[in-house]
């Protein structure tokens, strides 16, 4: 009998404990629902009461919109206040300008434009070939001489003569008219009575000028 009573007491206590646990669970759920609802209402009220964004917040919103690729919200600029107009009493009194009478000026007669003839171009003067000065042969050229070059171009002969003179020699130029072959100019150096003396001098000339020379009779 005692064992049966103890079993009943245990069953009663276990049932009471289960009810208490169920009540606790229900209370926790109810408390969680109320807390979540309060948080949602608080967020909505906070968003409704949020102050208007200032200039710094607008710049931050513009930067965030630029990073996201969205168009930043337009800023409303306050119209500038018009400058205060001084009262009429403060303005300095200025004398009214006297009326100016428009004088009638007769237009000058139109003149026909002057036609200016273009200046004639001056012809370019080309110096003639004979303008190049050449050294004439001496009065006594001797029987033989040393010839260092010949050409039909007077300018070329003048350059050759200057080169020979620069080597310390005394050249001269002889003009030879060869008929159908034209006119030739010959650069020569020295005057000798015999051919041997002319040949010895020719070697000196070739050494100084580093070019070939030839012994020629003067007549």
- CA dist., res. 3 & res. 39, Å (int): 54
210 CB-side CA count, 13 A: 1
CB burial of 133-152 (b: ≥16 within 10 Å; e: otherwise) equals ebbebeeebbebbbbbbbee
**pLDDT, tens only, 60-105:** 667 776 776 544 444 445 545 555 555 554 455 555 556 556 555 5
Q: What is the C-alpha to C-alpha distance for residues 190 and 146, in angstroms, rounded to an integer? A: 6
Tokens read off for 77: 């600029």
Query: What is the pLDDT of the chain when averaged over all its residues?
Result: 75
Give yes or no for a contact between 218 and 142, defined as CB atoms under 8 angstroms apart. yes
Contact 183, 152 (CB under 8 A): yes
pLDDT digits (tens, 9 = 90+) for 29-57: 888 888 888 888 888 887 766 555 554 56
Mean pLDDT of 193-205: 95
How sure is the predictor about 131, in pLDDT bands with cuts at 50, 70 and 90? low
Q: Is the dihedral of CA 91, 94, 96, 100 positive or negative?
A: negative
Residue 136: how many CA atoms within 13 Å on its side-chain side?
Answer: 3
Provide the 3-class DSSP secondary structure of residue 175: strand
More confident residue, 120 or 7: 7
């Amino acid at each position: 009998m005692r064992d049966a009573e103890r079993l009943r007491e245990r069953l009663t206590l276990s049932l009471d404990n289960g009810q208490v646990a169920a009540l606790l669970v229900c209370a926790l759920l109810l408390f969680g629902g109320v807390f979540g609802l309060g948080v949602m209402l608080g967020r909505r009220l906070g968003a409704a009461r949020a102050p208007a964004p200032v200039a710094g917040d607008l710049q931050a919103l513009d930067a965030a919109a630029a990073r996201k690729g969205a168009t930043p919200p337009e800023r409303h600029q306050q119209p500038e206040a018009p400058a205060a107009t001084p009262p009429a009493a403060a303005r300095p009194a200025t004398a009214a300008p006297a009326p100016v009478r428009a004088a009638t000026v007769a237009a000058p007669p139109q003149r026909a434009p002057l036609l200016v003839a273009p200046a004639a171009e001056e012809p370019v003067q080309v110096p003639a070939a004979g303008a190049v000065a050449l050294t004439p042969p001496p009065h006594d050229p001797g029987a033989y001489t040393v010839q260092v070059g010949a050409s039909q171009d007077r300018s070329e002969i003048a350059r050759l003569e200057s080169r020979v003179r620069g080597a310390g020699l005394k050249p001269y130029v002889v003009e030879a008219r060869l008929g159908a072959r034209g006119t030739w100019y010959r650069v020569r150096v020295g005057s000798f009575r015999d051919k041997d003396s002319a040949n010895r001098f020719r070697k000196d000339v070739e050494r100084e000028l580093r070019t070939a020379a030839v012994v020629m009779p003067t007549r």
